[in-house]
Structure 1
Amino acid sequence: MKLHTTNYKNTFIETSEDIPVSKAEIPPVKHNRTLANIQFAMITEHPYKFTSDDVMFECYAEKNDISLKDRADARRDFFSKGQACFRSSALAKRYGYGIHHNSEGKVAIFPMEGEDYKNLVNDDAVTKVKAMRNKRK
């Protein structure tokens, strides 16, 4: 069975062109954690520890109450189909965070108004892609 991936290497996902904020915001916590809450917590608490695949699967596992003993099989099933990558994440589309994938594919996030964000945008050694737009043109 072919396994798909959401991982990038040496890539920075910039905020979407039509982002509704001018400064990064922490995703608000509601009754149940949203995908943005899970992603934000994992990445800010452990920058460059997880790959995109790790984060995306953890979101799926938490939302679907997958037990620890069932996760290996569930992960294989999850990645047997193509999955949305961080270009479609609310962190980059709504909340104002750029997502950097280092040379190992591990991720960290940076607020759009920050110096690190600007440095990554201007770094020629890093591939840049924009997050997906919120609305069609």
Structure 2
Amino acid sequence: MKDNNYYGTFIEVAEDCPVAAAEIPASKGESKTVPLMQYEMIANHPYRYTQEDVLFEVFADRSEIPEDQRQAAREKFFSKGQPCLRASSLGKRYGWGIHHDAEGKMALYAVESADYQAFLADDAIKKVKAMRSKRV
């Protein structure tokens, strides 16, 4: 199975991100949105989860897949191509940079923070931008 994680990489906010300071995604009524679920997983547990962990767990929770069926469901989920976190609203809309360490584990950094700027200045870290929301 293909590895879909980033390693030693920083996902910068998109060029057309509308905020100058990071925002926590909102829920819609009683239900949590995908960006909020992604945010909570990464922000509440920095450097615990990989991109694959977050993408699958959010899918599994929203799909209400029972714990005992998750391993098989995960293999099926990744047997098809999945959008990476460059396509997430966290970097496109809400102003969060995502750092992936050498093990592929992630943490969030607000676009206005000194840590975010330090990642941009660090030549040892590969940088990619979150995908733009609008075509050029």
TM over 0.5: yes
Contact 2:26 2:32 in 1 (8 A): no
Q: In the alignment, which residue of structure 2 is the partner of 1:32?
A: 31
Conserved? CA contact 1:13–1:130, under 8 Å? yes
Q: What's the counterpart of residue 95 of structure 1?
A: 94
Are 1:4 and 1:81, in contact at CA under 8 Å, matched by a contact in 2? no
Which one-letter code corresponds to 1:81 in the other structure? K
1:40 alignment partner, SS class: helix
Supply the distance in 1 between the matched residues of 2:98 and 2:4 (Cα, whole angstroms).
13
Query: Unaligned 5+ residue runs, structure 1?
Result: none
**Alpha-carbon separation, structure 2, partners of 1:29 and 1:80:** 30
Q: Which runs of 5+ in 2 are unaligned?
A: none
User: Residue 18 of structure 2 contacts residue 93 of structure 2 at CA under 8 Å; is this kept in 1?
Assistant: yes
**Kept in 1: contact 2:10–2:127 (CA 8 A):** yes
Q: Is the 8 A contact 2:12 2:128 kept in 1?
A: yes
Partners of 1:5 and 1:79 within 8 A in 2: no
Return the alpha-carbon distance in structure 2 between the equivalents of residues 7 and 35 of structure 1: 19
- Residue 113 (structure 1) aligns with: 112
Normalised by the size of structure 2, how large is the TM-score?
Answer: 0.97
Counterpart for residue 11 of structure 2: 13
